């Protein structure tokens, strides 16, 4: 029997949590509901979910604080997180993404939009969707085994950062605009702000460590991946105008 994707729903409003759970069950997912951060941590410690739907405002520890802690842990670092919140300002969305969320959805939201985002994020996470390998200088990515190494040392990347790096490496030395990266990495059916790209590039560089210099900012144009011998400071790219 096919294993159903397990979704942990962390939402203190019971009516919203139960509505989400009903729709998840009807669409081929296995939801588990908790109503606060402490219970969420217990669930994660007990059994790692395939995805977490995480409310920002929770009693006790906030959703943002939980996301930060999970992103720092090797065990939970790659679990996809969608932040659920009533906060709609761009600065709030950036904070949620900076905290470690892979996507962000503002209340009230449609069930169909939530389901579409869940499916899109799970597709991005699945390593079997792309099974090729690519290498640029001493940075190597094997999509079949979901491994990234630099100078033979394995690096740990989240699911979105992995797919972003994969695309940049397959198209090395080319400049990619934020809108292009959104279409190619996130998918043109996902409606999120271009600022999301900047947040994930920042997280990618943090994960790459010494190899971070390979991901360059080309001011006014976007990003490119280049070999270390050609790389500049990643945040001091060329003054290039948008086409």
Higher pLDDT among residues 240 and 202, named by residue = 202
Q: What average pLDDT score do residues 124-144 get?
A: 76
Does 171 score more than 90 pLDDT?
yes
Does 127 score more than 70 pLDDT?
no
Q: How confident is the model at residue 131 (pLDDT cuts 50, 70, 90)?
A: low
- Asked if 6-125 and 128-225 have one fold, the answer is no
Please calculate the CA angle 8-11-16 and round it to the nearest 5 degrees.
Answer: 105
Which residues contact residue 172 at a Cβ distance below 8 angstroms, ignoring those fewer than 6 apart?
136, 224, 225, 226, 227
Over residues 181-236, the pLDDT tens digits come to: 887 887 644 556 778 889 999 999 999 999 999 999 999 899 999 987 655 555 55
H, E, C per residue of 200-232? HHHHHHHHHHHHHHHEEEEECCEEEECCCCCCC
Position 97 scores a pLDDT of 81
SS3 9: strand
**Fold assignment, 6-125:** Rossmann fold (3.40.50)
Q: Picking from 33-37, 100-104, 154-158, which range would have the lowest pLDDT averaged per residue?
A: 100-104
Q: How far apart are CA 11 and CA 222, in angstroms?
A: 36
Prior bond of 108 cis (ω within 30°): yes
Whose structure tokens read 């588990």? 32
**CATH class name, domain 128-225:** mainly alpha
Q: Is 124 exposed, middle or buried (0-12, 13-18, 19+ CB in 10 A)?
A: buried
Over residues 84-106, the pLDDT tens digits come to: 988 766 676 777 788 888 888 88
User: Where are the chain's structural domains?
Assistant: 6-125, 128-225
Q: How confident is the model at residue 174 (pLDDT cuts 50, 70, 90)?
A: very high
Position 215 scores a pLDDT of 96
From residue 239, alpha-carbon distances to 218, 229, 232 in Å are: 7, 20, 13
Position 187 scores a pLDDT of 65
Position 232 scores a pLDDT of 57
Q: Picking from 48-62, 127-141, 178-192, which range would have the lowest pLDDT averaged per residue?
A: 178-192
Position 160 scores a pLDDT of 87
Position 233 scores a pLDDT of 56
């Amino acid at each position: 029997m096919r294993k159903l994707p397990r979704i942990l729903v962390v939402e203190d409003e019971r009516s919203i949590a139960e509505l989400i759970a009903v729709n998840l069950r009807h669409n081929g997912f296995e939801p588990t509901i908790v109503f606060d951060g402490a219970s969420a941590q217990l669930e994660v410690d007990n059994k790692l979910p395939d995805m977490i739907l995480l409310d920002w405002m929770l009693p006790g520890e906030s959703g943002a604080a939980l996301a930060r802690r999970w992103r720092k842990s090797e065990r939970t670092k790659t679990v996809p997180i969608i932040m659920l919140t009533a906060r709609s300002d761009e600065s709030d969305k950036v904070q949620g993404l900076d905290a470690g969320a892979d996507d962000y959805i503002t209340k009230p939201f449609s069930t169909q939009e939530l389901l579409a985002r869940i499916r899109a994020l799970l597709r991005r996470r699945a390593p079997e969707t792309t099974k090729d390998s690519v290498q640029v200088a001493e940075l190597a990515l094997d999509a079949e085994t979901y491994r990234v190494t630099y100078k033979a040392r394995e690096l740990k990347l989240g699911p979105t950062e992995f797919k972003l790096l994969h695309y940049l490496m397959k198209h090395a030395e080319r400049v990619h605009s934020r809108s292009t990266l959104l279409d190619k990495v996130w998918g043109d059916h996902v409606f999120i702000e271009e600022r999301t790209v900047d947040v994930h590039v920042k997280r990618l560089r943090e994960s790459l460590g010494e190899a971070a210099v390979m991901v360059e900012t080309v001011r006014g144009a976007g990003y490119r991946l280049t070999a270390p011998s050609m790389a500049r400071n990643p945040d001091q790219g060329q003054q290039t105008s948008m086409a």
